[in-house]
């Protein structure tokens, strides 16, 4: 483990430098995206004041507002550019260079992305968390923050990121068959965004669909960590969803390895 | 006569570039089709989201489902028209100036703004255009809409000037790159405010409402003109506001652009 | 800048030119043209970048410092100087891309940055480093677009294309998309594009950069033909001195933003052509101390010695010290393994001037 960190530390460092370079741009982009959260915030406030009921399909107004911001936070932090990075390397052929180096292709990307992530963590994490907690305190009149739940959230978030990363890397390999990844990447992001609960809680969907999505890897990407954070999951649900996250993570790591081995074989047969 | 000749020339150039863009598209058919499906799906997801809300409540802040759909569809149209014709302004903000590629537009005997925008015909916009028209078609029978010559005229006017609001805001923020080399992120931040225009401005609090009405007046691209059609109101304010905002932003955009062109520093030799 | 006082002494335009009516001969007037750039100084670290975000620190860099020159109609002017001398900045001001900080330029009675649209109708511009053609369009389509932009009528367009095709041989690739052209083809296509509207002035910024010898030669021939047939005035910047020798009637040389030479190539050679270079490899480097050229010839600043540890090169003016004397003296003082004396060609002269090693005395 120590050895791995030593080998891949330069990649993390490069990622940090890269993120620092695009710092100002990043802040503006995030501000643009946070606007969407506020639109949803006002929309849901209007929904609750128009509906007259205390809850909307099981969510109170406080739950809903927390959901909006925490799901934004989660999907921003669990975001991965893996498919793009892999796709580009395949298109320009530099992936062949990866094969002659004594390092793992996926880990190099992973550690670089973790480095880049320092920027979003340092800029997005604290303001959004504190904002949500203040909001919950003002509305309910009591401190809602629970350190134990928060730690579970962090764990689930890390798993969500790793799954997302490997899903994206696997997806990036499709560049071997497709000429251009723009269209399919867009389609993929929209489908995953919706099915992972980043747009609306999966509980709002028809029960059968929601149950299927909960079981499939989609829920593991955003929905699970958010539900843990805002306290909608009981101990049993937390345990099962953790189990599912781990199963899916192993599945995608394995899948990535299989595709990679196939690629190596194919490239060495064709001679790059 | 001179103006007709000029327009004729502009249309001719537009035609050549549109033809070329469509040709290029055919080279990447599959990519384009999947992207188009994705964009349609994105709109579909949003509408599904709204319908879930309305499955639980009869009206949102006094607005019916159909009225909301009308406003939403109305919002997509000027956005799509702007997207279709001036998408290259994004490239200006992101890299044309930074790489010094703006040089070539300055050596041509046409206005730089025209030379830049005519080069790209963004067919992605057809998705928004399609969904917008579809939503208007669905919602019109169920909202009390008074179809008259005057209203058709006002509709066209509001579309035109709402488009200018989009173009003006893009133009001003993209022009910043003449001084800073790159301003794509600034354009993005301001452009995202347009999302507020999809819902009635009445649901926002006073500060946000004032910002999207008077400062970055995207509310005039959809909510104000659209609500005049579905709920009545003072056309002088609702549509007059669109005309004023569109005119002011477009003029400001052209002025800033021209000032920027003079300040343009090209890229190091 | 020391360059500006040099340029006074260096100005090779005979006084008489200035006395003739300017409208009659000169097509291009450049007067005290100056361009400053503001450069933001970035400070390292997060704190520094925040500071420069709020209150950026800037410094002013003078890229072009009060340059004057004139160009008569039909001339091919070579505009040369080392990298970063300000050549491109001058060209960009002359073509209306950049607005000068002060000073003025007037071409064919028009001020580029003021009457841009009507001015650029009369000029053609080629930047060797980047294309003006539309990357994804077939080359033929590019010309159709340019025909509309420059409002060339159908008849002249046909004739023009036939002529350009003859000079630049476009036929073999005119139906290919621009992105598939080779560098040489692209350059020919770019030059044709700049000539479609029969401009009065043609600006060529490094038109032969990166091309092989044969293509270079073709391009030079084409430029020459167009210049002779149509009296097109050509402003050419280049690093290839072969271009200059083959094409240019006159050269203007700039360095660090200031003009340091303006005159015919023959004059440059006459003025600095006597400069010779003697290169030798001494058998024993410590013996070099015995050489005292100044003492021997009783001349100050006439000889320059450079020792890089392998070769010793001595530059001198053969008008003042004959080659024979130079060789005799040197060989009498020490043993050499190898020695030769060469004539400075134009390349050497310019190199010398770039390094400001050629001494200027009026």
pLDDT digits (tens, 9 = 90+) for A59-100: 999 999 999 999 999 998 998 888 888 888 887 877 777 777
What are the pLDDT digits (tens) for C122-157?
999 999 888 889 888 889 988 988 998 898 999 999
Q: Find residues 50-69 of chain C whose CB sits inside 8 Å of chain A.
A: 53
Structure tokens at A89: 């390397």
Give contacts of C46 with chain A, Cβ < 8 Å.
20, 23
Closest CA to C282 of C308, C318, C303: C308
Structure tokens at A205: 């969907």
Whether this model's pTM surpasses 0.90: no
What is the interface pTM, i.e. ipTM, of the complex? 0.89
- Whether residues A23 and C53 touch (CB distance < 8 A) is answered with no
Residue of B13, B106, B264 with shortest CB distance to C148: B13
Quick one: three-class SS letters along chain C?
Answer: CCHHHHHHHHECCCHHHHHCCHHHHEEEEEEEEEEEEEEEECCCHHHHHHHHHHCCEEEEEEEEEEEEEEEECCCEEEEECCCCCCHHHHHHHHCCCCCCCEEEEEECCECCCCCHHHHHCCEEEEECCCCCCCCCCEHHHHHHHHHHHCCCCHHHHHHHHHHHHHHHCCHHHCCCEHHHCCHHHHHHHHHHHHHCCCCCEEEEECCCCCCCHHHHHHHHHHHHHHHHHHCCEEEEECCCHHHHHHHCCEEEEEECCEEEEEEEHHHHHHHHCCEEEEEEEECCHHHHHHCCHHHHHCCCCCEEEEECCCCEEEEEECCCCCHHHHHHHHHHHCCEEEEEEEECCHHHHHHHHHCCCCCCCC
Going from the C-alpha of C198 to that of each of B223, C123, C166, C205, C226, the distances in angstroms are 53, 8, 15, 18, 10
What are the pLDDT digits (tens) for A255-268?
999 988 887 777 66
- Chain B's closest residue to A203, CA to CA, is B52
C318–chain B nearest CA distance, Å: 38
Which of A26, A43, A188 is the best mutation test for B, with the most CBs of B within 10 A?
A: A43
Q: B24 and chain C: CB distance < 8 Å anywhere?
A: yes
Half-sphere exposure of C136 (CA within 13 A, CB side): 15
Total beta-carbon pairs less than 8 A apart between chain A and chain C: 5
- Continuous H helices in B64-183: 65-86, 88-91, 103-106, 112-118, 125-139, 149-175, 177-180
Structure tokens at C264: 């015919």
Q: Give the model's confidence band at C260: pLDDT under 50 very low, under 70 low, under 90 confident, else very high.
A: confident
Closest CA to A83 of A73, A75, A91, A72: A91
Enter the DSSP assignment of B213.
I
Residue B30's pLDDT is: 84
Residue C362's pLDDT is: 33
The pLDDT of residue B130 is above 90: yes
Give contacts of C97 with chain B, Cβ < 8 Å.
103, 106-107, 264, 266
Residue C284's pLDDT is: 84
The pLDDT of residue B195 is above 90: yes
User: pLDDT exceeding 70 applies to what percent of chain B?
Assistant: 99
Q: Which of A215-224, B194-203, C299-308 has the lowest mean pLDDT?
A: C299-308
Give contacts of C88 with chain B, Cβ < 8 Å.
266, 269
What are the pLDDT digits (tens) for C209-248?
888 888 899 899 999 999 999 899 999 998 888 888 889 9
Higher per-residue pLDDT: B67 or A120: B67
**Domain extent at residue A48:** 2-270
Q: C354 and chain B: CB distance < 8 Å anywhere?
A: no
Give contacts of B208 with chain A, Cβ < 8 Å.
38, 42
Q: Find residues 3-22 of chain A whose CB sits inside 8 Å of chain C.
A: 20
Mean pLDDT of chain C: 82
Q: Find residues 11-70 of chain A whose CB sits inside 8 Å of chain C.
A: 20, 23-24
Q: Give the model's confidence band at C319: pLDDT under 50 very low, under 70 low, under 90 confident, else very high.
A: confident
Closest CA to C196 of C150, C230, C154: C150
Residue A269's pLDDT is: 57
Give contacts of C53 with chain A, Cβ < 8 Å.
24
- Whether residues A38 and B32 touch (CB distance < 8 A) is answered with no
Considering the domain C3-29+70-270, what is its CATH architecture? 3-Layer(aba) Sandwich (3.40)
User: Other CB atoms closer than 10 Å to residue A128's CB: what's the count?
Assistant: 20
- The string of DSSP codes covering A138-155 is HHHSS----HHHHHHHHH
Q: A191 and chain B: CB distance < 8 Å anywhere?
A: yes
CATH 3.40.50.300 occupies which residues in chain C? Answer: 3-29+70-270
Q: Which of A245-254, B178-187, C32-41 has the lowest mean pLDDT?
A: C32-41
The pLDDT of residue B212 is above 90: yes
Q: Are C170 and C192 in contact (CB under 8 A)?
A: yes
What are the pLDDT digits (tens) for C154-195?
999 999 999 999 889 899 999 998 989 999 999 999 999 999
Which of C42, C44, C49 is the best mutation test for A, with the most CBs of A within 10 A?
A: C49
Total beta-carbon pairs less than 8 A apart between chain B and chain C: 67
**Which CATH number applies to C274-343: 3.30.930.10, 3.40.50.150, 3.30.360.10, 3.30.70.250?**
3.30.70.250
Chains that touch B (3 or more CB pairs under 8 A): A, C
Distance between CA B254 and CA B85 in Å, rounded?
A: 16
Half-sphere exposure of B197 (CA within 13 A, CB side): 31
Give contacts of C48 with chain A, Cβ < 8 Å.
none
What are the pLDDT digits (tens) for A150-200?
999 999 999 999 999 999 999 988 888 777 778 888 888 899 989 999 888
Give contacts of B9 with chain C, Cβ < 8 Å.
148, 151
What are the pLDDT digits (tens) for B214-266?
999 999 999 999 999 998 888 899 999 999 999 999 999 999 999 999 999 88
Enter the DSSP assignment of B107.
T
Total beta-carbon pairs less than 8 A apart between chain A and chain B: 106
Q: B210 and chain A: CB distance < 8 Å anywhere?
A: no
Q: Which of A116-120, B210-214, C48-52, C200-204 has the lowest mean pLDDT?
A: C48-52
Chains that touch A (3 or more CB pairs under 8 A): B, C
Enter the DSSP assignment of B221.
G
Distance between CA C252 and CA B93 in Å, rounded?
A: 37
B49–chain A nearest CA distance, Å: 7
User: Could you report how far apart the first and last alpha carbons of chain B are, in Å?
Assistant: 43
Going from the C-alpha of C58 to that of each of A24, A87, C156, the distances in angstroms are 19, 41, 51
- Whether residues B103 and C123 touch (CB distance < 8 A) is answered with no
Region C314-329 average pLDDT: 83
Domains identified in chain A, total number: 1
Q: B31 and chain A: CB distance < 8 Å anywhere?
A: yes
Q: Are C40 and C52 in contact (CB under 8 A)?
A: yes
- Whether residues A24 and C46 touch (CB distance < 8 A) is answered with no
Closest CA to A252 of A157, A184, A173: A173
Q: Find residues 165-204 of chain C whose CB sits inside 8 Å of chain B.
A: none
- Whether residues C130 and B103 touch (CB distance < 8 A) is answered with yes
Going from the C-alpha of C352 to that of each of A24, A183, C253, C276, C316, the distances in angstroms are 46, 57, 12, 11, 12
Q: Which of A96-100, A142-146, B26-30, C60-64 has the lowest mean pLDDT?
A: A96-100
Backbone angles phi, psi at A147, to 5 degrees: -65, -35
């Amino acid at each position: 483990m120590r050895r791995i960190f030593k080998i891949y530390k330069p990649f993390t460092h490069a990622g940090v430098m890269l993120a620092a370079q695009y710092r100002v741009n990043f802040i503006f982009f995030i501000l643009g995206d946070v606007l969407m959260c506020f639109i949803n915030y006002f929309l849901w406030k209007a929904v609750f004041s128009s509906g007259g009921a205390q809850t909307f399909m099981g969510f109170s107004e406080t739950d809903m507002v927390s959901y909006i911001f925490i799901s934004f936070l989660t999907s921003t932090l669990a975001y991965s550019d893996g498919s793009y990075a892999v796709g580009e390397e395949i298109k320009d052929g530099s992936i062949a260079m990866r094969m002659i180096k004594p390092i793992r292709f996926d880990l190099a990307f992973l550690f670089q992305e973790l480095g880049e992530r320092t920027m979003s963590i340092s800029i997005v994490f604290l303001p959004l968390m504190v904002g949500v907690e203040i909001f919950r305190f003002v509305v309910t009149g009591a401190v809602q923050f629970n350190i134990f739940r928060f730690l579970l959230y962090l764990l689930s978030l890390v798993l969500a990121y790793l799954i997302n990363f490997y899903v994206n890397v696997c997806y990036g390999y499709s560049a071997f068959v497709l000429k251009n990844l723009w269209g399919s990447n867009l389609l993929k992001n929209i489908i995953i965004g919706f099915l992972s609960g980043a747009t609306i809680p999966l509980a709002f969907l028809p029960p059968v669909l929601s149950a299927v999505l909960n079981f499939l890897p989609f829920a593991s990407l955003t929905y699970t960590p958010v539900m843990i954070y805002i306290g909608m999951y009981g101990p049993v649900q937390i345990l099962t969803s953790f189990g599912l996250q781990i199963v899916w993570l192993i599945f995608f790591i394995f899948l990535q390895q299989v595709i990679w081995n196939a690629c190596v074989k194919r490239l060495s047969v064709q001679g790059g | 006569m001179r103006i007709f000749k000029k327009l004729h020339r502009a249309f001719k150039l537009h035609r050549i570039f549109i033809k070329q863009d469509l040709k290029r598209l055919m080279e990447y058919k599959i990519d384009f089709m999947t992207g188009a499906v994705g964009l349609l799906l994105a709109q579909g997801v949003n509408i599904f989201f709204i319908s879930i809300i309305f499955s639980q409540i009869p009206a949102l802040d006094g607005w019916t489902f159909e009225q909301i759909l009308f406003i939403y569809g109305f919002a997509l149209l000027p956005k799509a028209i702007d997207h279709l014709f001036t998408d290259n302004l994004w490239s200006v903000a992101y890299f044309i100036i930074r790489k010094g590629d703006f040089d070539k537009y300055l050596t041509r005997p046409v206005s730089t703004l025209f030379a830049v925008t005519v080069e790209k015909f963004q067919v992605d916009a057809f998705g928004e255009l399609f969904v917008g028209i579809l939503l208007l078609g669905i919602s019109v029978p169920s909202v009390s809409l008074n179809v008259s010559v005057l209203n058709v005229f006002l509709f066209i006017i509001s579309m035109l000037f709402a488009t200018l609001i989009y173009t003006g805001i893009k133009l001003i923020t993209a022009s910043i790159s003449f001084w800073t080399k790159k301003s794509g992120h600034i354009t993005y931040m301001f452009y995202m405010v347009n999302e507020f225009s999809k819902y009635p401005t009445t649901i926002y609090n006073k500060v946000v409402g004032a910002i999207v009405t008077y400062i970055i007046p995207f509310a005039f691209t959809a909510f104000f003109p659209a609500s005049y059609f579905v709920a009545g109101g003072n056309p002088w304010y609702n549509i007059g506001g669109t005309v004023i905002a569109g005119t002011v932003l477009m003029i400001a955009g052209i002025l800033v652009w021209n000032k920027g062109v003079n300040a343009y520093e090209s890229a190091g030799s | 800048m020391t360059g500006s006082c040099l340029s006074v002494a260096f100005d090779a335009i005979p006084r008489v030119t200035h006395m003739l009516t300017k409208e009659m001969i000169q097509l291009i007037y450049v007067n005290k043209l100056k361009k400053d750039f503001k450069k933001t100084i970035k400070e390292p670290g997060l704190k520094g970048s925040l500071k420069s975000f709020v209150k950026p620190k800037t410094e002013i860099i003078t890229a072009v410092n009060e340059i004057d020159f004139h160009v008569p109609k039909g001339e091919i002017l070579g505009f040369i100087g080392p990298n970063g001398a300000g050549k491109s900045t001058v060209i960009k001001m002359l073509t209306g891309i950049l607005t000068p900080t002060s000073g003025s330029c007037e071409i064919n009675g028009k001020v580029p940055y003021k009457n841009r649209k009507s001015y650029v109708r009369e000029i053609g511009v080629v930047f060797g480093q980047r294309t003006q053609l539309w990357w994804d369009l077939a080359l033929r389509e590019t010309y159709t677009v340019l025909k509309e932009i420059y409002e060339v009528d159908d008849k002249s367009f046909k004739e023009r294309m036939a002529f350009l095709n003859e000079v630049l041989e476009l036929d073999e690739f005119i139906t290919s998309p621009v992105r598939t052209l080779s560098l040489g083809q692209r350059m020919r296509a770019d030059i044709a594009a700049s000539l479609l509207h029969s401009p009065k002035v043609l600006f060529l910024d490094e038109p032969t950069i990166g091309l092989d010898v044969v293509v270079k030669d073709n391009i030079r021939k084409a430029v020459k033909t167009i210049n002779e047939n149509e009296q097109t005035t050509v402003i050419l910047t280049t690093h290839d001195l072969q271009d200059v020798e083959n094409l240019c009637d006159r050269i203007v040389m700039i360095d660090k933003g200031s003009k340091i030479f303006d005159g015919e190539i023959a004059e440059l050679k006459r003025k600095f052509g006597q400069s010779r270079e003697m290169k030798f490899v001494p058998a024993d480097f410590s013996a070099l101390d015995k050489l005292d050229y100044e003492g021997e010839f009783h001349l100050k600043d006439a000889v320059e010695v450079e020792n890089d540890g392998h070769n010793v090169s001595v530059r001198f003016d053969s008008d003042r010290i004959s080659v024979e004397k130079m060789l005799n003296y040197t060989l009498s003082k020490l043993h050499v393994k190898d020695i030769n004396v060469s004539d400075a060609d134009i390349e050497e002269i310019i190199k010398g001037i770039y390094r400001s090693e050629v001494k200027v005395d009026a």
